[in-house]
Chain A
Amino acid sequence: MTDAAPQTGYAPVNGLEMYYEIHGTGRPLVVLHGAYMTIDTMGEVVPGLAKTRQVIGVELQGHGRTADADRPLSYEQMADDVAAMMKHLGLEGADVFGFSMGGGVALQVAIRHPDLVRKLVVASVSYTSDGMHPELLAMIPTITPEVFAGSPIEEAYLRIAPNPEDFSTLVAKLKQLDMEPYAWAPEDIQGIAAPTLFIIGDSDAIRLEHAIELFRLLGGGVMGDLAGLPKSQLAVLPGTTHFVPPGSAVLDRAGWLLAMIPPFLDAPDQDKE
Chain B
Amino acid sequence: MFGEVLPLLAEGRQVIAVDLQAHGRTADVDRPLSFELMADDISALIEHLGLERADVMGYSLGGNVALRTTIQYPGVVKKLVLVSTPFERNGWYPEVLAGIGQVGPEAAEPMKQTPMYQLYSSVAPKPEDWPVLLTKLGDLLRQDYDWSSEVEAITAPTMVVVGDADSIRTAHAVEFFELLGGGKADAGWDGSGMSNARLAILPATTHYDIFFSPALASTVTPFLDAPMPEAG
Chain A residues within 8 Å of B, Cβ to Cβ: 133, 135-136, 197, 202-205, 207-209, 211-212, 215, 220-227, 229-230, 233-239, 241-242, 244-245, 248, 255-256, 259-260, 263-264
Please choose the segment from B64-72, B147-155, B190-198 that sits at the chain A interface, where 4 or more of its residues have CB less than 8 A away.
B190-198
Query: A234 near B93 (CB under 8 angstroms)?
Result: no
Please choose the segment from B6-14, B22-30, B119-127, B164-172 that sits at the chain A interface, where 4 or more of its residues have CB less than 8 A away.
B164-172
Query: A255 near B218 (CB under 8 angstroms)?
Result: yes
> Given A239-B194, A241-B187, are A225 and B203 also a contact pair (CB < 8 Å)?
no
Task: Give 4 closest A-B pairs by Cβ, nearest first.
Answer: A224-B165, A236-B201, A224-B206, A233-B203
Q: Is B183 an interface residue (CB 8 A)?
A: yes
B interface residues, tally (CB under 8 Å): 44
> Given A235-B201, A235-B203, are A203 and B163 also a contact pair (CB < 8 Å)?
no
Q: List residues of chain A with CB within 8 A of the CB of B200.
A: 202, 236-238
Query: B206 near A259 (CB under 8 angstroms)?
Result: no
* Docked complex: B190-232 residues within 8 A CB-CB of A: 190-191, 193-194, 198-209, 215, 218-219, 222-223, 226
- Partner of B219 from the list A135, A229, A238 (CB cut-off 8 Å) is A238
CB closest residue in chain A, given B202: A235
Tell me the bound Cα distance from A245 to B218 in angstroms.
22
Query: A256 near B183 (CB under 8 angstroms)?
Result: no
A-B contact pairs, 6 of them (CB 8 A): A221-B170, A224-B164, A224-B206, A238-B223, A241-B191, A244-B191
> Given A208-B174, A229-B165, are A135 and B185 also a contact pair (CB < 8 Å)?
yes
CB closest residue in chain A, given B204: A233
> Given A223-B96, A224-B163, A244-B191, are A203 and B171 also a contact pair (CB < 8 Å)?
no
- Partner of A259 from the list B159, B163, B182, B218 (CB cut-off 8 Å) is B218
CB distance from A53 to the nearest CB of B (A): 18
Query: A245 near B185 (CB under 8 angstroms)?
Result: no
CB closest residue in chain B, given A136: B186
Q: List residues of chain A with CB within 8 A of the CB of B202.
A: 235
- Mask, B70-114, CB within 8 Å of A = 1, is 000000000000000000000001011000000000000000000
> Given A202-B198, A212-B170, A224-B166, are A133 and B185 also a contact pair (CB < 8 Å)?
yes
CB closest residue in chain B, given A267: B204
- Partner of A223 from the list B167, B185, B204, B222 (CB cut-off 8 Å) is B167
> Given A208-B177, A220-B170, are A234 and B218 also a contact pair (CB < 8 Å)?
no
> Given A239-B223, A244-B189, are A234 and B170 also a contact pair (CB < 8 Å)?
yes
Query: B199 near A202 (CB under 8 angstroms)?
Result: yes
Q: List residues of chain A with CB within 8 A of the CB of B183.
A: 202-203, 207-208
